[in-house]
Amino acid sequence: MKPDGSPAACAFFGVKGEFVVLDDGWAASFRDGKWHPNLLFSHEQMAEFWPVQSKDEVERLLKEAREQTAST
């Protein structure tokens, strides 16, 4: 939880090297070697993802995703 009471950023990883990051109404997906704005995976696909446990890794993925999707 963030100091303002909003949910903390989170990230999930899939078995094929995919990632999803979520932060305060914003989402990005990593698929096929590239970050994409928005959530690209279905509910069924997300059932096969696991949460990233390290807060540092979540922050690293969030930063990378925001940088890579800023121009799209």
Answer whether residue 65 shows pLDDT above 80. Answer: yes
The secondary structure of 33-60 as a DSSP string is: TEEEES--S-HHHHTT-EE---HHHHHH
Answer whether residue 2 shows pLDDT above 90. Answer: no
Q: What is the pLDDT of residue 5?
A: 60
Q: Which residue has the higher pLDDT, 2 or 68?
A: 68
Distance CA 64, CA 43 (A): 24
Q: Name the pTM for this structure.
A: 0.85
Q: Which residue has the higher pLDDT, 2 or 69?
A: 69
> If 0-12 CB within 10 Å is exposed, 13-18 middle and 19+ buried, where does residue 52 land?
buried
Q: Model confidence at 8, in pLDDT bands (50, 70, 90)?
A: confident
